[in-house]
Amino acid sequence: MDIGQDIIEATTDIFSTMLMMDLDVGDPLEGADGDVLSNITSMLGLGGDIRGMLAVHCPAAVAMAITGGFLGMDVDELNEDVKDAIGEIANMVAGNLKVAFAGYDMKIELAIPSSVVGESFRVAGMLGARRVAVPFAMEGGQFLVELKYIVNS
């Protein structure tokens, strides 16, 4: 299993297909939690053969740029459209990861995403979970896609 690469492929696929945007990809980060510099985080729960959560953490400028790209208009505040758009990014990344996990003979189920706006986030809990996070860079800054999961025995 190469979950870091799976996150990279799942995310770049969405940006190239729907936003016609190539992302600069950072090295996957594994291990302990850390504070994430973010103004908006969208996350959704994962169930089935694993339990966990996928989160997309964005600074405001990046979130507004993504939303503007989706909607074909300028976006200048963290409004409902932005929360919705980043939630859809999380949803589509999770959908692509579902296909990747199926390749490992693991079936996962997706919950509905939710978004929170704030200054800095740490997703706590899930003792013993594996954490893989990948930074991506685009015009406006960096965002992070984070997966935390435990394989159900």
Partner 1 sequence: MGHNVLLVDDSSTMRKIVGRSLRQAGLDFDNIFEAADGLLALEVLEKESVDIVLSDINMPNMDGISFLREKANRANMKDIPVFMISTETGEDIIGEAKALGAKGAIKKPFTPDMVNEILGPFLT
- Site residues (CB under 8 A) for partner 1? 13-14, 17-18, 67, 70-72, 80-81, 84-85, 87-88, 91-92, 94-96, 98-99, 102, 107, 110-112
Q: Which is nearer to partner 1, 6 or 88 (CB)?
A: 88
Output the 3-class SS for 41-81.
EEEEEEEECEEEEEEEEECHHHHHHHHHHHHCCCCCCCCHH
Closest by alpha carbon to 141, among 1, 54, 14, 39?
39
Instruction: Report, in Å, the least distance between residue 7 CB and partner 1.
Output: 15
The nearest distance, CB 68 to partner 1, in angstroms, is: 11
- Residue 88 CB, shortest distance to partner 1, in Å, is 5
Least distance to partner 1 from the beta carbon of 116, Å? Answer: 16
Nearer to partner 1, 31 or 103 (CB): 103
Q: Residue 36's beta-bridge partner residues?
A: 121
Helix (DSSP H) and strand (DSSP E) numbers for the chain? 3, 10
Instruction: Decide whether 114 or 120 has the Cβ nearer to partner 1.
Output: 114
d(CA 73, CA 67): 8
